[in-house]
Structure 1
Amino acid sequence: MKIGICGNSDLKALAVAIDTIRSEYEIVTGDPQYWMHELQDIPDDFVNTDFLILALDWMQCIPAIYDYTWGDNFNDTLQAFSKFCRSLTDTINQLRQKSHCKILLFTPPTPASYPTGFITRLLDNSQLQLFTSIQNIANDIYKSVTDCYPVDIDLIEHSDFSALPHENNGHQTTPAVKIAGHCVRMIDQFIKYPLKCIILDLDNTLWGGVAGESELSLLILDPQGDGKPYFDFQKELLKLYKQGMLLAICSKNNTCDALEIIEAHPHMVLRPSMIAAFRINWDNKVLNILSIAKELNIGLDSIMFIDDNPSERGLVKEALPDVEVLELPKDPCGYVNTLRGSSRFWPIQLTKDDLKKNSYFSMDRLRKKSRDIKTTIADFLRKSGLSITVSQTGSESMSRVVQLINKTNQFNLTTKRFTQSELEMVCNEPHTYLLQMEMRDIFGDYGIIGVSLIRNSLIELFLLSCRVLGKDAEVAFLSVILHFMIDRGISEATGMYIPSEKNIQTAPFYSNCGFTLKESVGKSTIWCRNLSEPIIAIPDWFHVDCKLEYNNL
């Protein structure tokens, strides 16, 4: 990528700032003293540039517009600006005969203040009115010259540096690094395929709380209270939807629970009719994203993925590097500004040549991705520093364990509920063990995320927080439990599955882990496993810290 920088401002500072951001660019700069001559008789270095940044200091070009105050000749000042713009337009059109590069032209910055103060808007022929007319005249340059785009200095100033003082009214009041960043984002929009689709998580992304774990009314989503950040985030997404952006859902949930919220919650802004594709299941999100791309017939580089969970974001980055991943802050109050801060939504019109360079991913390529993705996921998990600690529940963690037992609906094989006093009474029975699993990785500490209640040879409770599904933590937990039972002299383990409206996805769990069906009691099933046979292995991406007083792992 070759970038030319021409104009009458500090070109070197801008070039250094761009090089810091994109060191792979080849950058050539002109001479600020001869910028107009360079446009009229373009040097050889500029002929083959892909982009030409025309970095004008408008204060030097037309000082009269910045010296103007109420009482000066309004029409003469405006005509002087118009004359300069006509000359600039003619010169750029001459340049077009030798170069077909895209031109990024600095806009004339609006003054930050006016000497007429608070009555400025009441005055005819004020400096405010002058600059309103000036911006309209400048806009005609971008509209009349092919492939000429505005580098909006006011936008940069207000969006990125609204708190900085204006030392003068030229573009140099905005630091070169911010102008450089803006130019690079503009260039990215031409050389990257424009975003077509945003794939969204649900829990703690579009609302606070977990679908299926809370009543509809208890979810955190409202226009004024604690749920306002989520409500405002949905409103911002709605703007992009109206702009033509496709929205898709990729969430680890029961479909009916999630759809009930999207359809029925009174403060949901995004409704089912606005969603182009749904993947609400317990599958790996990487595979779901590939599936959505196939369904919508779009390339991976035209997708943005938004999820509050840094582990899920990290996995998508690792496995699907072409997908844009929005780095949400921990505090949902920052979601809106983070979304607004992404320039990938800017709708820059592309030429036919640009479109040819950015063709869709073929279906064959997506199929190959699907074949290779399991290896990539495993590699990512091995690098994630996953560690689990399994121990017996003590008094200090009993309240959290009781909370997990009574709130977890989805990955919960029996959905039996206990009060704390009931659970403490059960734990005092002989040959009864209440086990808990904690998990952490390089992204943070998940705390207690798994609970199991063992009575003699029966696994009466087995549940896992849905926050950690997709890493096979449930397999690791069960493996530790079975080794624990062997250490206690148990020869056959028994597991119970009691179906509910929300735990259907756990129905094949025992079967998948080597258990065989022993009997059915109504809709419930009892499963057994001979512990003299090899135990299901703990996935090799987990480090296990077992505090159950045995060493058979």
Structure 2
Amino acid sequence: MNASPSQEQPIQTPTIAVSATFTAEPLQEALDFWLAELAFEANIQFAPFAQVFQELLAPDSLLASNSSGLNVILVRPSDWDTQDDSFEHYASKFVSALGAVTTQSSAMWLICICHDTPSKGTNTYEKLLSELRMLDSIQVITPDDVERLYPVETYHDAEQDKLACIPYTSLYYTSLATLIMRRFYAMITPDIKVIALDCDNTLWRGVCGEVGAHGVEVDSACHALQDFMLEQHQAGVLLCLCSKNNEQDVLDVFAQHSDMPLSLDDIVATRVNWKPKSDNLKSLSDELGLGLDSFVFVDDDAVECSEVNTRCPEVTTLQLPRQRPLIARFLHHVWAFDHSDTTDEARMRNALYRQNAQRQTAATQALTLQDFLHDLNLSVSIERMNDDHIPRVAELFNRTNQFNATTQRYSSGEVRALLQSGQQQVLVTSAQDRFGDYGLIGVAVYGIDGDTLDVRSLLLSCRALGKRIEHQVIQRLTNIAIDAGCQWLQVRYVKNEKNHLVVGFLEQLGEHSTATQEQALLYRFRIQSLSVEV
């Protein structure tokens, strides 16, 4: 049987492999600090000094052999501005080599363009940045990122640069290491899905129920907060209101302050009442079909934050600083708000959830499930994955919890390696109905071993549940098994606290046997006995 990435291969400690055009070892101390602070296990290894191109081109290099972690390349532009060739020449060769190696790599890649040496002047690297951002699976850190988040007064160390090609001060190395770990954290942890916002003294200053809509003030701190939340909204995070207020008072503020960055069109759901905010967050979780551990709650009140912390510990609860000028900086330093990548589906997420609310209304009005499904005019497409699907498939692997048979997580590079391996096949599922396009909503990874089609990963976005789309996926897999001469269909299941829906689905497919293989429970169905109604 071919090895399954989720169960049969030993879990590897990821490697953070670092290559640079200068001496990079001073990063080690700060990287170790953040690994300990975040309770992550990773091996940090440094490539030989100034061997960036060799690391990209040699098949046995540190970067090439890193299959389960992060490859970091740091470039000081002036190191590529030599008597022999220009920075532009080396930059072009770098992008070409990087593009070739990353298509064959399952590692995550982070390219850091560092501050240049003052005496060398400023190289123009905008063209390099634009070309890097066109490459799949590449994250980029720029000098502007350092200046915006972790600025240092003095970054160049002329003496150490001359003695040991250590061009930066220890504080600058610490800033770089912090940004590297922040990006790594975003890459390997699930993105948040919902931000629930208080209103009074959060979105605006003042209590609208006391001073009225005209009496509240939208000061610069409120503008900054709303601008930040609008950016999160545009990145695909769902925004909700969770406020103790009379609902009409809140609606009046939005109506009277139409110049606010946020409008009610940006809000996907509201709970404006006098119930405990923890109860309202649970209600929002139920309405949206999203776990509380994907929520961030933002409030100015310590008592309200404490209540949510106590009764909804899964929620990331943030109390805003009392000093209002600090609010914007505070928000920009919350790592939970970082996003590893933003796909087209993510940008459409707010519209997709509004469409889903319409579907829920239609479901309550239908007499039977069959009537509801017939009225939807649902069209499902199941096809083999191609390169264009990779970003969204990786997003689904990392965001989907409720209907995810193994919850195995894959980076974009690992998805590409899966596609190119040829040992396993990947199907992707898309759907649309009279309310709109669901986008790409499902993934199935399978391999054929003798007389068995082995489903190694099976997942479906929560917004697609309840429409028998999962049954159509199983029917397609069954047809593939029959065409391949298989007698058995096997589905791997790894239990966690969220994916019990998968068990309920598998149990009702028909007569089956189960067996344990390491952490996985194998559901085994004889093809002829499968009962799939689509």
TM-score range (shorter-chain normalised) is: 0.5 to 0.7
The whole-number CA distance in structure 2 between the counterparts of 1:330 and 1:18 is: 31
Q: What does 1:94-243 correspond to in 2, within 5 Å?
A: 95-96=101-102, 99-109=105-115, 131-132=123-124, 134-144=125-135, 146-161=136-151, 163-164=153-154, 166-167=156-157, 172=168, 175-219=172-216, 221-222=217-218, 227-243=219-235
Larger Rg: 1
Asked if structure 2 preserves the Cα contact closer than 8 Å seen for 1:53 and 1:104, the reply is yes
Give 1:253's match in structure 2, choosing from 233, 245, 248: 245
The whole-number CA distance in structure 1 between the counterparts of 2:182 and 2:240 is: 25
Report which stretch shifted further, 293-302 or 183-192: 293-302
Task: Rate the CA distance shift 1:228–1:349 in 2: closer, same or farther, 3 A.
Answer: closer
- Structure 1, unmatched stretches of 5+, are 65-76, 115-126, 365-553
Is 1:21 matched up with 2:34? yes
The whole-number CA distance in structure 1 between the counterparts of 2:221 and 2:99 is: 48
Higher RCO (C-alpha under 8 Å, 6+ residues apart): 2
The whole-number CA distance in structure 2 between the counterparts of 1:303 and 1:245 is: 10
The whole-number CA distance in structure 2 between the counterparts of 1:171 and 1:251 is: 51
The whole-number CA distance in structure 2 between the counterparts of 1:84 and 1:363 is: 47
Q: What is the match of residue 481 of structure 1? A: none
The whole-number CA distance in structure 1 between the counterparts of 2:130 and 2:203 is: 38
Q: What does 1:65-76 correspond to in 2, within 5 Å?
A: none
What residue identity is the alignment partner of 1:355?
Answer: E
Give 2:78's match in structure 1, choosing from 59, 64, 82: 59
What residue identity is the alignment partner of 2:60?
Answer: I
Task: Rate the CA distance shift 1:10–1:311 in 2: closer, same or farther, 3 A.
Answer: farther
The whole-number CA distance in structure 1 between the counterparts of 2:177 and 2:201 is: 34
Per the normalisation by structure 1, the TM-score is 0.52
Aligned-residue offset at 1:34: 6.2
Deviations 1:428-452 (A, max 9, x none): xxxxxxxxxxxxxxxxxxxxxxxxx
Give 2:25's match in structure 1, choosing from 4, 9, 12: 12
What residue identity is the alignment partner of 1:22?
Answer: L
Is 1:309 matched up with 2:301? yes
Give 2:92's match in structure 1, choosing from 65, 69, 86: 86
The whole-number CA distance in structure 2 between the counterparts of 1:201 and 1:93 is: 45
Q: What is the match of residue 362 of structure 1? A: 402
The whole-number CA distance in structure 2 between the counterparts of 1:266 and 1:359 is: 34
Task: Rate the CA distance shift 1:6–1:363 in 2: closer, same or farther, 3 A.
Answer: closer
Task: Rate the CA distance shift 1:257–1:154 in 2: closer, same or farther, 3 A.
Answer: closer
Report SS of the residue matched to 1:213. Answer: helix
The whole-number CA distance in structure 2 between the counterparts of 1:346 and 1:189 is: 6
Q: What does 1:279-358 correspond to in 2, within 5 Å?
A: 279-343=271-335, 344-346=337-339, 348-349=341-342, 351-352=391-392, 354-358=394-398
Aligned-residue offset at 1:214: 2.6
What residue identity is the alignment partner of 2:22?
Answer: S
Per the normalisation by structure 2, the TM-score is 0.54
Q: What is the match of residue 60 of structure 2? A: 42
- Counting matched residue pairs gives 330
The whole-number CA distance in structure 1 between the counterparts of 2:28 and 2:393 is: 26
Deviations 1:217-244 (A, max 9, x none): 333x14xxxx442244334433443454
Report SS of the residue matched to 1:33. Answer: coil
Asked if structure 2 preserves the Cα contact closer than 8 Å seen for 1:202 and 1:250, the reply is yes
- Structure 2, unmatched stretches of 5+, are 1-13, 344-390, 405-534
Q: What is the match of residue 256 of structure 2? A: 264
Report SS of the residue matched to 2:279. Answer: helix
Aligned-residue offset at 1:301: 4.1
Task: Rate the CA distance shift 1:315–1:192 in 2: closer, same or farther, 3 A.
Answer: farther
Asked if structure 2 preserves the Cα contact closer than 8 Å seen for 1:233 and 1:336, the reply is yes
What residue identity is the alignment partner of 1:6?
Answer: S
Aligned-residue offset at 1:277: 0.7
Task: Rate the CA distance shift 1:34–1:203 in 2: closer, same or farther, 3 A.
Answer: closer
Task: Rate the CA distance shift 1:313–1:88 in 2: closer, same or farther, 3 A.
Answer: same
Report SS of the residue matched to 2:275. Answer: coil
Asked if structure 2 preserves the Cα contact closer than 8 Å seen for 1:110 and 1:154, the reply is no
Q: What is the match of residue 49 of structure 2? A: 33
The whole-number CA distance in structure 1 between the counterparts of 2:200 and 2:101 is: 53
The whole-number CA distance in structure 2 between the counterparts of 1:341 and 1:189 is: 13
Asked if structure 1 preserves the Cα contact closer than 8 Å seen for 2:155 and 2:168, the reply is no
Asked if structure 2 preserves the Cα contact closer than 8 Å seen for 1:109 and 1:171, the reply is no
The whole-number CA distance in structure 1 between the counterparts of 2:27 and 2:116 is: 21
Q: What does 1:375-414 correspond to in 2, within 5 Å?
A: none
Asked if structure 2 preserves the Cα contact closer than 8 Å seen for 1:18 and 1:180, the reply is yes
The whole-number CA distance in structure 2 between the counterparts of 1:279 and 1:189 is: 29
Aligned-residue offset at 1:248: 0.8
What residue identity is the alignment partner of 1:47?
Answer: N
Deviations 1:24-47 (A, max 9, x none): 231231243263434324347843
Aligned-residue offset at 1:279: 0.4
Asked if structure 2 preserves the Cα contact closer than 8 Å seen for 1:108 and 1:171, the reply is no
Root-mean-square deviation (CA, aligned residues, Å) is 3.4
Deviations 1:163-216 (A, max 9, x none): 445446997356222112211221222222223332100111112222322343
Report which stretch shifted further, 286-295 or 273-282: 286-295
Task: Rate the CA distance shift 1:111–1:291 in 2: closer, same or farther, 3 A.
Answer: farther
The whole-number CA distance in structure 2 between the counterparts of 1:150 and 1:266 is: 36
Asked if structure 1 preserves the Cα contact closer than 8 Å seen for 2:277 and 2:304, the reply is yes
Aligned-residue offset at 1:80: 1.8
What residue identity is the alignment partner of 2:341?
Answer: I
Asked if structure 1 preserves the Cα contact closer than 8 Å seen for 2:235 and 2:342, the reply is no
What residue identity is the alignment partner of 1:100?
Answer: S
The whole-number CA distance in structure 1 between the counterparts of 2:194 and 2:212 is: 30
Aligned-residue offset at 1:84: 1.4
Q: Calculate percent identity across the aligned residue pairs.
A: 22
